[in-house]
Structure 1
Amino acid sequence: MEKKLRHFNGNLERAMPILTPTGVILGLLLGAKVSWMKPSVTYLFAFLTFCGALGINSSDFFKVLKKPKPIFAFLLGTNLIMPIIAWSVANVAFPTNTAIITGYILLMATPTAVSGYIWSSIYQGNGALSLTLILVSTALTPLLTPFTVRLLAQTSVEINTMGMILSLFKMVVLPSLFGILINNMTKGKVNEHITPSLKPFSKLSLILVIIINTSQVSQQLIASASWAYLPIALLCAIIAASGFPIAFVIGKWAKLPEEDNVSVTFAIALRNISAALVLAIDYFPPETSLPVIFGIVFQQSICAVMGHFFFGKKPHR
């Protein structure tokens, strides 16, 4: 059984560039038929994080903290370079539409996505670093997201700090602690049989998350579909795709080890778009949510393609 699960996991990893856009399409088509499953996303992410944390011991985190250069490279790309790029290209493409410009800024002003940790593990990134970047990014969000939006969009937003902390605790902190604890208690032996057997289920969970999250915007996107939205969608795709080469170059410029560069690349390029959508709907005109909605549609599909392009030639574990 274990051998079959390892083989299945390898097939899933190779098929991710196809499975991810398929998940997006299914989410759009199924819509309300699966959108009711939204509450399960938190638990699916918790399972994903737990599976990855099984391969990490406590000493790995101390190694990350002793060499913080990847964290600084991440903050540079996430909180400075990518928001400025989004603001710049949005002003060129939609110079008179402040609502749309704000949407692009909001898209890049939110914290890194938890799913970046999963993609990093697929391409043999530094798991401890990926978790650290998620924690750091989310902790700084109440300060950096309003500041970025206020500076670039000349407007203000309020962040539900407690809600974000609780969500992070359930999706990342608690399952990570359990996974690391089990790794320490078994002295890493959990990775001999259990962890490899769980990997295909974690990837299937990621596909399910993509389907459910996409279904949340299906009705709004399809009901208001218009050719006028095409430029907005194309620019979303361009910004999402550009994040990967920019992040990759930042990692090379910082002379990061390969596994650290994998983690930093996915962490910079991916965003917690669900948080951006909540802010767009609550505090801005309806048009502001359009770039965010298209971001949900494109982000994971582009991630699958770009991840394979930059890191897919490496042998999988």
Structure 2
Amino acid sequence: MLTFFSNWNSWLAKHMFYVVLSALFFGFITPVETTKFWSLVATLSFTYMTFVSSLETSLKDFFRTLSRPWINIWMLLLIHGVMPLIAYLIGLIFYPDNEYIRLGFVIGASIPIGVTSLIWSSMLGGDVPLSMVAVTLDTLISPLLLPAFIALVAGKSIQIDTMQLLVGLFWMITIPSLLGMVVHDFTKGAVDKYATSIGGFFSKIAIFLVVFINASAIAPEIKWDHAIIKLLLVILIVSVSGYTLGFLGSFILKGHQRDRMITMIYGVGMRNNSLGLILALTYFPPAVAMPVTLSMLYQQPLAALIASLLKQKQPAPKEQGC
């Protein structure tokens, strides 16, 4: 049974683009009524995803990596400092009179690292421990950073219940992340088999549910016309900017190691769009969620394209002497 779920979990992990795309497709063509029930399902699904993703992380490894914090600090500075500024400037250039679209760009750029960055980093030989700690640390500090950042950017024109947002993020991210690491240490890693089989499989189902529910909620706000084409093109610019920033930022690191470069590219470029959707739809008008929703169309395809380029540039193994 574990082998069955493990194989399916592995297959879904390699085809996350199709999982997300199908969820978006069904959400757009078969919208469900936005109710407290479906909102609760989306929130609980996301909480479960966070918990499962942290089951393979040890508290000891987490704190050990924190003893060398400079790389993570640099990544977080790029993610929560430089990239939101780039997204805000792009929004200001293309949408000077639409504060909600601009805010959507900022939220999409300032939300935590996407958990799927771990998958891509692992498949391409990246620094997996660094990637795991970066994702975990980012999700733990996001409840403190996001409310402050959003209030700084949009607080003058949009009323934000910062305390409600803070509490919601702690319940969706911080608590399940810490609980997952505690369970990992308590079981001495035995729970890893669950995380990579049954737990991992249903976490992919949870991703589908979160995307489907939120896409369904935003569907009535989308009018497929020239305005959407413009928005899609601008979102593509923002998405490419994230991956490019991670690549350029890796050259600052001492030695510019390939494994760290890969982790930087996906860590800075990929975002937890499921969380962004929940935040945008829970605390802001639906228009704010449009950039976050539509960015899902690019994240996985761009990740696959970058993977192809990295494989082409992969250094050939050195020949062994006789």
TM-score, with length taken from structure 1? 0.79
- Corresponding position of 1:67: 68
Distance 1:168 1:22, change over 3 A: same
- Corresponding position of 1:57: 58
Bigger mean CA offset, 138-147 vs 38-47: 138-147
Find out whether 1:146 has 2:151 as its counterpart: yes
Find out whether 1:135 has 2:140 as its counterpart: yes
Whole-Å separation in 1 of the counterparts to 2:240 and 2:104: 17
- Corresponding position of 2:320: none
- Corresponding position of 1:248: 247
Q: 1:139 deviation in Å? A: 0.6
Give CA deviations for 1:264-293 in whole Å, capped at 9, x if unaligned. 325568572443455652xxxxxxx64x34
Superposed counterparts of 1:1-317, under 5 Å: 1-32=1-32, 37-94=38-95, 97-99=96-98, 103-109=101-107, 112-113=110-111, 116-123=113-120, 124=122, 125=128, 126-149=131-154, 155-191=156-192, 193-197=193-197, 198-221=199-222, 224-254=223-253, 255=256, 257-258=259-260, 260-261=263-264, 264-266=267-269, 272-277=276-281, 280-281=284-285, 290=287, 292-311=288-307
Give CA deviations for 1:2-47 in whole Å, capped at 9, x if unaligned. 2222221222122222221121111111112576522111111111
Structure 1 SS opposite 2:10 = helix
Alpha carbons 1:240, 1:298 under 8 Å: kept: no
Q: Counterpart amino acid of 2:196?
A: P
Identity score, percent? 21
Alpha carbons 2:114, 2:135 under 8 Å: kept: yes
Whole-Å separation in 2 of the counterparts to 1:268 and 1:3: 30
Whole-Å separation in 2 of the counterparts to 1:68 and 1:156: 36
Q: 1:235 deviation in Å? A: 1.1
- Corresponding position of 1:284: none
Whole-Å separation in 1 of the counterparts to 2:211 and 2:302: 17
| Count, aligned residues | 295
TM-score, with length taken from structure 2? 0.78
Give CA deviations for 1:82-124 in whole Å, capped at 9, x if unaligned. 2332333334434xx4225x6225522567446x442133233
Give CA deviations for 1:115-171 in whole Å, capped at 9, x if unaligned. x44213323343232121122233122332233447xxxx54443222222222221
Whole-Å separation in 1 of the counterparts to 2:41 and 2:34: 11
Unaligned runs of 5+ in 1: 282-288
Whole-Å separation in 2 of the counterparts to 1:135 and 1:82: 19
Q: Counterpart amino acid of 2:139?
A: I
Distance 1:106 1:90, change over 3 A: same
Whole-Å separation in 1 of the counterparts to 2:24 and 2:280: 18
Whole-Å separation in 2 of the counterparts to 1:158 and 1:248: 36
Distance 1:178 1:225, change over 3 A: same
Distance 1:266 1:230, change over 3 A: closer
Alpha carbons 1:210, 1:300 under 8 Å: kept: no
